[in-house]
Amino acid sequence: MADNTAKREISNETEELSQKTKRAKADHGNGRGEDVKESEAGNVLSGFQLSAVLSDSAREKNIFIHGKLADQNAVVILEKTPIREDTLAEIFSGSRLMLEMKNDIYSTYRLQAPPHLNEIKTTVVCPATEKHVNKYQRQESFLVEETWEDYQTITLPYIQVQSFSVQWVHNILEKKAEAERIVYEDPDPDNGFVLLPDFKWDQKQVDDLYLIAIVHQKDIKSLRDLTSDHVPLLQNVFKKGKEAILQRYNLPASKLRVYLHYQPSYYHLHVHFTKLGYEAPGCGVERAHLLADVIQNLQSDPQYYQTRTLYFPLRADNGLLSKFKEAGRL
Ligand code: M7G
């Protein structure tokens, strides 16, 4: 019941948001790396040259492709999106229906929905680094056991030179990109954060709700840096993030999975807010740490994350995995 209300609300929100986007565009033009609209950009993918399919999933209905866009390395992700309840009437009335087979009470059809209800969510990373290509490649994973000493001698030196750029994060915090997508902001430099939709979420339905809270403090790399000094920051993100989601999407805290990744891909502290029941990539116990647990751990031991052994999966050709192997830790 609550979900249906939320679905209705979200389509209003989406509409409002797209109106806002249009207004922002009309007011300020573009050129700051923000959402580029079709009329300006045309089909940038028309010249895409495919080199390899990195992975695909019939169940998740997505495909990750590596190729070239105007001679630059690119990764393109295509993903079919869920069918929304509020589009059903139009799907039934406005589609072409072709019978495939009929047998007794059973029949199957091919249904061609109106184009605007048949969109494919598309993500482009360009220019993509080798690390991006590896990130999306289907690969075997290995569970790594990292003591605090391993973190200091193996992981930290590696991430200091090898991690993904966090330019996109700084663009969000400085309102140079995605400014119109911000759902909530607490501007306090110590305890503040920006809450906005993760780019994995198309915001069309609340079933796969996915937002991220990016903290304003720029020097917290990951869970490993957290001490009890950060408890007020974490509590603030937890409390205000949940309130903002309730207000905007009508989803109560009891419907949310709020967690941090260890290891993250991007070493600027951020918190994932996803809908409970949605199996977001990386929400398994080997990578996700519930924010509520993190807060409690820090309250009972201020140095919890500087003393504990942490476990996480690394994919076969992750450079950090090689470092753990070289150190005889795997
Ligand atoms: P993570 O735990 O560092 O790594 O999370 P993961 O990508 O392996 O999960 C970073 C989160 O930020 C992920 O959920 C990404 O989908 C999301 N994300 C990454 N980028 C580059 C962007 C972006 O440009 N905009 C937004 N809104 N989200 C992003």
The residue assigned the tokens 């806002």 is 20
Say which of 268, 270, 272, 289 is annotated catalytic.
Answer: 270
Tell me the sheet residues that pair with 112.
96
Tell me the sheet residues that pair with 289.
260
Average pLDDT over the chain, rounded to whole? 89
User: Which residues, 6 or more positions from 233, have their beta carbon under 8 angstroms from its beta carbon?
Assistant: 190, 191, 193, 215, 217
87-100 CB burial, b ≥16 within 10 A, e <16: beeeeeeebeeeee
Pairing label, strands 72-80, 120-125: antiparallel
Is the pLDDT at 21 greater than 90? The verdict is no
Identify the three-state secondary structure at position 76. Answer: strand
Instruction: Establish whether residue 199 lines the binding site of ligand 1, counting it when its CB lies within 6 angstroms of any ligand atom.
Output: yes
Stronger pLDDT, 257 or 330, i.e. the higher one: 257
Closest residue CA from atom 4 of ligand 1: 265
For the CA of 281, the closest atom of ligand 1 is: 9
Most informative mutation of 184, 185, 198 for ligand 1 (most atoms within 8 A of CB): 198
Closest residue CA from atom 22 of ligand 1: 199
Instruction: Establish whether residue 241 lines the binding site of ligand 1, counting it when its CB lies within 6 angstroms of any ligand atom.
Output: no
- Confidence bin at 37 (pLDDT 50/70/90): low
Identify the three-state secondary structure at position 15. Answer: helix
Helices 231-249 and 2-28 meet at what angle, rounded to 10? 100
Closest residue CA from atom 21 of ligand 1: 168
Cα(264) to centroid(ligand 1), Å: 9
Please say whether the beta carbons of 266 and 163 come within 8 A.
yes
Is the pLDDT at 30 greater than 70? The verdict is no
Instruction: Establish whether residue 136 lines the binding site of ligand 1, counting it when its CB lies within 6 angstroms of any ligand atom.
Output: no
240 φψ region: left (φ > 0), alpha (ψ -120 to 50), beta (else): alpha
> CA-CA distances (angstroms) from residue 326 to 154, 264, 320, 321?
10, 22, 10, 9
Cα(199) to centroid(ligand 1), Å: 7
Beta strands in 147-268 (DSSP E): 184-186, 193-197, 210-215, 256-261
pLDDT tens per residue, range 188-205? 999 999 999 999 999 999
Is the pLDDT at 35 greater than 60? The verdict is no
> What is the number of residues in the chain?
330
Beta strands in 176-287 (DSSP E): 184-186, 193-197, 210-215, 256-261, 270-275
Tokens of 28: 């300020």
Among 199, 300, 293, 183, which Cα is nearest to 242's?
183
Share of the chain above pLDDT 70, in %: 88
66 is catalytic: no
Closest residue CA from atom 25 of ligand 1: 199
Tokens of 64: 């990750």
User: Which residues, 6 or more positions from 23, have their beta carbon under 8 angstroms from its beta carbon?
Assistant: none
The average pLDDT across 139-158 equals: 97
Cα(180) to centroid(ligand 1), Å: 17
- Confidence bin at 41 (pLDDT 50/70/90): low
